Chain A
Amino acid sequence: MKQKLVLKLVLLGDPGVGKTSLISQFVHARFRHSYQLTVGLDISSKQVKLNDGRTVTLSINDIGGQARFAAIRHMFFKGAHLAMFVYDVTRTETLTNILDPWYKELMEFCSQPGKARSAIQTILVGNKSDLEDYIMVDEEEGLQLAEKINANEHILASAKENIKVDDAFKTLAQSFFDEVQQ
């Protein structure tokens, strides 16, 4: 019997950066204009084809970005293989907040003692890249932060226009297997 590969993915980032929208676009090819707060956690799944032809199922955990969920969200980090840090390119602080609290919080629960790099594979996604006139964050700033948090990639995406959304999820899933092979 063929073994089914399931990877747990958590999305982290400030409220309103578009975590739910990215998932909705990736999983259901849909975009909602109005913002609905994610209460605690939402889980969805989708299969992704890897470069070698294998298929992996992503169990996608959408974690509410509001401060009131801070006390409980670490519970959802347990067993995560992948993390997607999401910021909004039209709001600079959402990028700086990736380092603290998001990255810091994830590392508190997922870092491996004695190892510089966590086993969890990460990617940094700048969402809302279609809003060209409203972009406040330089791509260079995103790249620098991605390097700082050891993210595998920095991708500018748009959930609304479906730009690089699939790329972001596939790159992240692929990075897990690339790391395992090393």
Chain B
Amino acid sequence: MGTETDFSYLSYIPTYIFKQLIDKWNKTSIELKPNGLLSKENRETTIKHIQKLSTPRLKQLKKVSETLNFSDIWWQVYQISKIKPVSELQKKKKTFKIEKYFQEEGEIKAKGLFSVRELNEYVSFIAVEFSSRSTVYKRLFRFFYLPSVKTILLEPKDFAEEVLKSEILPFITKDPDKFEKKTIRARSIRVLTKKTDEAKTAFNLTHLNIRISLETSGIEGLSQIIIQGDDVIRGAETLEQRHEVSLGFMNSGPWVGAGTKDFALEVGKGLQIHQLENESLKSLVSVLGII
């Protein structure tokens, strides 16, 4: 009995990136629905093309999936000013010396390579790879650049903020000293549920976390209430109306976490991105535009 191939890594690759790669490699044009490579509609086509790929291509594809695997990352949001267009950033690959980041670890001969991938008209993905030939060393720093909302997202890890300040900001803004970390606050989560000038429609939240403080509850034992569903705000409102009751828990504390199928926000943590399909990226831009 043969073991079944694990295709789960494909879920991190957006359909349009997969399509671009397959079209290029196989010199053909494949049709995929923009809702995930392993979705019911796409799974058969995806696997059919995967099985035709050579081992080096498969390795390349796995590397793309590793680079785009964001499932556990809480991105930090930075507001920047005087941005440069993405086209300007893509003109050349930038390499820089990274020894300064490792002064305490002795001499490491390594280089940093900066690359930009335009995911769609609103979002670019910036990767900075540190690598060394003399020692086995590889490190990847990932950023999302959203010029339309003057925002850059940073993956929190050692040196990432330094890389942002010293290498990325001078590259993407005309005023690299002017940037500000944006804190996710309960107020931002409330705004997501409202129709505003910036957000023409309110987001359908699939989960909402309500913080219960000791000052409000009186005793320890309950710290958070989490509600889940396709549209929790509408769901809670409708439940209240139909049963003519007040769901007091909706207002028993600040809303400290919320999410949709595309993203999640949490006070004190940041922003999580679930997928990079086009519609999800549009949704991400709207969120960042209003928080």
Beyond A90-B253, A91-B251, A92-B251, whether A136 also contacts B190 by CB under 8 A is yes
Distance in angstroms between the alpha carbons of A90 and B216 in the assembled complex? 11
Q: Give chain B nearest CB distance to A42 CB in angstroms.
A: 16
Distance in angstroms between the alpha carbons of A136 and B186 in the assembled complex? 6
**Which candidate, A31-39, A105-113, A171-179, is the interface stretch facing chain B?**
A31-39
B253 touches A91 (CB 8 A): yes
A34 touches B190 (CB 8 A): no
A135 touches B187 (CB 8 A): yes
The yes or no answer to A13 lying at the interface (CB within 8 A) is no
The yes or no answer to A129 lying at the interface (CB within 8 A) is no
Q: Which residues of B contact A160 (CB under 8 A)?
A: 215
**CB-nearest residue of chain A relative to B255?**
A136
A132 touches B185 (CB 8 A): yes
**CB-nearest residue of chain B relative to A127?**
B215
The yes or no answer to B156 lying at the interface (CB within 8 A) is no
Distance in angstroms between the alpha carbons of A131 and B213 in the assembled complex? 11
B215 touches A133 (CB 8 A): no
Distance in angstroms between the alpha carbons of A138 and B194 in the assembled complex? 14
A92 touches B268 (CB 8 A): no
A133 touches B183 (CB 8 A): yes
Interface string of B81-124 (1 = CB under 8 A from A): 00000000000000000000000000000000000000000000
What DSSP secondary structure best describes chain A's contact surface?
Answer: loop
Q: Give chain B nearest CB distance to A162 CB in angstroms.
A: 15
**CB-nearest residue of chain B relative to A33?**
B214
The one of B214, B253, B255, B267 that contacts A34, using a Cβ cutoff of 8 Å: B214
The yes or no answer to A69 lying at the interface (CB within 8 A) is no
Interface string of A82-99 (1 = CB under 8 A from B): 000000101111100000
Number of interface residues of A (CB under 8 A): 23
Distance in angstroms between the alpha carbons of A50 and B233 in the assembled complex? 48
The one of B214, B219, B254 that contacts A90, using a Cβ cutoff of 8 Å: B254
Q: Which residues of B contact A40 (CB under 8 A)?
A: none
Distance in angstroms between the alpha carbons of A136 and B218 in the assembled complex? 21
Q: Which residues of A contact B187 (CB under 8 A)?
A: 135-136, 138
Q: Which residues of A contact B211 (CB under 8 A)?
A: 90, 134
Q: Give chain B nearest CB distance to A102 CB in angstroms.
A: 15
Beyond A90-B186, A92-B190, whether A135 also contacts B216 by CB under 8 A is no
A133 touches B251 (CB 8 A): no
Distance in angstroms between the alpha carbons of A135 and B256 in the assembled complex? 10
The one of A21, A34, A131 that contacts B254, using a Cβ cutoff of 8 Å: A131
The one of A92, A93, A128, A134 that contacts B256, using a Cβ cutoff of 8 Å: A134
Q: Which residues of A contact B251 (CB under 8 A)?
A: 91-94
Q: Give chain B nearest CB distance to A169 CB in angstroms.
A: 20
The yes or no answer to B252 lying at the interface (CB within 8 A) is yes
Distance in angstroms between the alpha carbons of A83 and B42 in the assembled complex? 65
**CB-nearest residue of chain B relative to A35?**
B218
B183 touches A16 (CB 8 A): no
**CB-nearest residue of chain B relative to A135?**
B187
The yes or no answer to A126 lying at the interface (CB within 8 A) is no
The yes or no answer to A142 lying at the interface (CB within 8 A) is no
A134 touches B215 (CB 8 A): no
The yes or no answer to A18 lying at the interface (CB within 8 A) is yes
Q: Which residues of B contact A91 (CB under 8 A)?
A: 216, 251-254
Interface string of B239-255 (1 = CB under 8 A from A): 00000000000011111
B218 touches A34 (CB 8 A): yes
**CB-nearest residue of chain B relative to A97?**
B251
Q: Give chain B nearest CB distance to A100 CB in angstroms.
A: 14
**CB-nearest residue of chain B relative to A37?**
B218
**CB-nearest residue of chain A relative to B215?**
A35
Interface string of B252-269 (1 = CB under 8 A from A): 111110000000000110
Q: Which 6 A-B pairs have the closest CB atoms?
A: A35-B218, A134-B254, A93-B251, A90-B254, A16-B216, A134-B186
| Apart from A35-B219, A135-B185, A136-B254, 4 more pairs, CB < 8 Å | A35-B214, A133-B185, A135-B186, A136-B186
- A sample of 25 cross-chain residue pairs with beta-carbon separation below 8 angstroms, ordered by A number, consists of A16-B215, A16-B216, A33-B214, A34-B215, A34-B219, A35-B216, A35-B217, A35-B219, A90-B186, A90-B211, A91-B251, A91-B252, A91-B253, A131-B254, A133-B184, A134-B185, A134-B211, A134-B253, A134-B256, A135-B186, A135-B187, A136-B187, A136-B190, A136-B254, A160-B215
Report A's interface with B, CB cutoff 8 A. 16, 18, 21, 33-37, 88, 90-94, 128, 131-136, 138, 160
